[in-house]
Amino acid sequence: MCSNGTTAGTQSVIVSAPSASSAPTTSSTFTPAPSRGVKGGVGGASRDYGPLTLGIGATLVTGAVGATVWFLRRRSKPYRL
């Protein structure tokens, strides 16, 4: 039905029931699970990083720990002008 109250047109639809001989069939295949379980990788942990990369990482971790300690100690002091 259109907004002005008229119909847009007509169309015929024919639906037929399937015969008993053409009933749908299902099939499945069975695949056994791997005997050794899931093969997980080690991700990026297996890459060999050089001393420069390890030094930069250690510096970043040390800086983060130092900033955390400084921030927590600063908050525990009483407020002073």
The whole-angstrom separation of Cα 54 and Cα 34 is 38
Burial code (b: 16+ CB inside 10 Å, e: under 16) for 33-66 equals eeeeeeeeeeeeeeeeeeeeeeeeeeeeeeeeee
Contact 43, 37 (CB under 8 A): no
pLDDT for the residue 77: 65
Query: pLDDT tens track of the chain, all 81 residues?
Result: 677 777 777 778 887 776 666 666 777 777 776 666 666 666 656 667 788 988 999 999 999 999 998 888 887 666 655
pTM for this model (two decimals): 0.39
pLDDT of res. 63 = 97
Cα–Cα distance for residue pair 1/8, rounded to 1 Å: 7
